Each structure stands twice: as C-alpha cells, then as structure tokens.
Chains A and B, each alone.
Chain A
Amino acid sequence: MEKAIRVIEEIARRGIIRAYAIGGGIAATYYIEPVLTYDLDIFFIPAKEGLDVLAPIYDFAEKRGFKARAEAILIEGFPVQFIPAYNDLIREAVKNAAILKYRDVEAKVVKVEYLVAIALQTGRAKDKERMIRLLDEAVIDRAVLAGILESSGLAGRFKKFESQFYGK
C-alpha cells in the first residue's frame, strides 16, 4: 500500500490535483475497527475545474503503466478510486485533512469529524452504520463536529439521527 500512497502523493506534488485526502472505508478503518473494503477512495480537489477533472489523473496513470479497472485505477495492485470533491463539505474535509502514517510513508486522511458529517450527508444505510461505529469507537471532538454540522446545514439531521439511534 505504501507504493500506492507514494504515487498518490506524487500526483499531488506534480500539481495534477490540488489536494487530496483518503476517505471511505480506509479512512474509517484508521479511526475504528477494520472494515471490509476493496478500494482506496481518494477525494481530491482538481487542479483545474472543468467537465473532465479525472482526465489528467488517467493520463498520468496511463503514462506510468497503471491500468484503469472499473471505476478505479490499479496502482501497484491497489484499486484506487479518485472522487472529485463534489460539494463544499468534501472540499473542506480535503483542505483540513489529517496526516496518516503507514509504515514509512505519510498520506492525507479525512478527519474523523468530517467522516461523520460526510456519512450523515450521504445517508445510505451503510453510512448510518458507519456513523454509529465512528461515534461509538473513535475519539471525536464534539465541538469540532458541531461546528462542521452547523456550517454544512446538517445540525438538524444529526439531532434526528441521535434521537433515532441513541434516544437523545
């Protein structure tokens, strides 16, 4: 995995993307018990806005001999899925990413408070399950979470969630 992380870091260093942060199951696994996942999800802010923000990444991958596979790029055997930051919350999560260490490499990872907010916003059954695990198992700064929920207009939805699952 460290090779894949090095390539992702290189993509950012070369300015092919402006910024990135690991999200999805691997970001969750950083904070909670390991979850079954198959892709390394990378939220990114494109270097240039446009219709096809993935094209520069795929061009780079092709030149380096990494093949596309379904929605992912196989980097050193790892399916890496690049997901453009599609709203303000995700953009903010990428900008405020934490640093993850894996063996001798470092990578950016979405902070746990943003993961909770993103899961709440996405709102599928598996996101709700992930939220419960994050809230139960991870160390969460409640004040930071409250600020994120407020600024992204999710405070009301979070109250409903807490009422439904925690009887608050």
Chain B
Amino acid sequence: MENKAARKVFRKKRDRRRRLAKLPFEKKIEIVVALQKAAAGIREDPRHIIWPIQPDLKRPRSSSGR
C-alpha cells in the first residue's frame, strides 16, 4: 500500500542528503567532528577520539566529490 505522506518525507530526506553530499569536503569534515562530539555527548567511549580540527575561515574551500 502506498503512503503519500511517507513517500514525501522520504523524498525530502533524500533531497537533503543529496544537498549535504555537495558540501565542500572541508565543511563535511567539520560535520564529522560535530557528529563525533554529539555521539560523545550521548555516550562517551574512551576508544573514540574526537578529531582536533579547527574551522579554517581564511582559506577558500575546494569543492567535494565530482
């Protein structure tokens, strides 16, 4: 059985992921670090190291992927 509302939500999620996929790689790495911090906030795991990345505001950012 088709569900229009669910299909719309899934399409929007897919569109959002595709937009995220187009972010510059440097920005993506900043998001990875944010995810690491968020995960540590939920449950700290001594095996996991949060990467020592500082936002680089000076340099122009290269584009990601192809």
> Per-residue CB proximity of A106-148 to B under 8 Å, as 1/0?
0000001000000000000000000001001111000000000
Task: Identify A36's interface contact among B26, B39, B49, CB under 8 A.
Answer: B39
Cβ of A32 under 8 Å from chain B:
yes
> Which of chain B's residues 17-48 have a Cβ closer than 8 Å to chain A?
17-18, 20-21, 23, 25-26, 28-29, 31-32, 35-36, 39, 47-48
> Per-residue CB proximity of A58-73 to B under 8 Å, as 1/0?
0000000000011000
Are B51 and A136 in touch, CB under 8 angstroms?
no
> Per-residue CB proximity of A77-109 to B under 8 Å, as 1/0?
111000000000000000000101111100000
Chain B residue with the shortest CB-CB distance to A29: B28
Task: Identify A77's interface contact among B18, B25, B49, CB under 8 A.
Answer: B49
**How many contacts between A and B, using CB within 8 angstroms?**
80
Are B47 and A138 in touch, CB under 8 angstroms?
no
Cβ of A30 under 8 Å from chain B:
yes
Residues on A with C-beta less than 8 A from B53 are 1
Tell me the complex Cα distance, A31–B18, Å: 10
Name the distance in Å between B27's Cβ and chain A's nearest Cβ. Answer: 9
Are A33 and B20 in touch, CB under 8 angstroms?
yes
The answer to whether residues A1 and B29 also contact, given A32-B17, A34-B20, A77-B52 and a CB cut-off of 8 A, is: yes
Extra contacts besides A29-B29, A102-B62 (16): CB < 8 Å: A29-B28, A31-B21, A31-B65, A32-B17, A32-B20, A33-B21, A33-B28, A35-B32, A69-B49, A102-B25, A102-B29, A103-B59, A136-B14, A137-B18, A138-B21, A138-B65
Which residues on B are within 8 Å of A, measured CB to CB?
14, 17-18, 20-21, 23, 25-26, 28-29, 31-32, 35-36, 39, 47-49, 51-53, 56, 59, 62, 64-66
Which residues on A are within 8 Å of B, measured CB to CB?
1, 25-26, 29-38, 69-70, 74, 76-79, 98, 100-104, 112, 133, 136-139
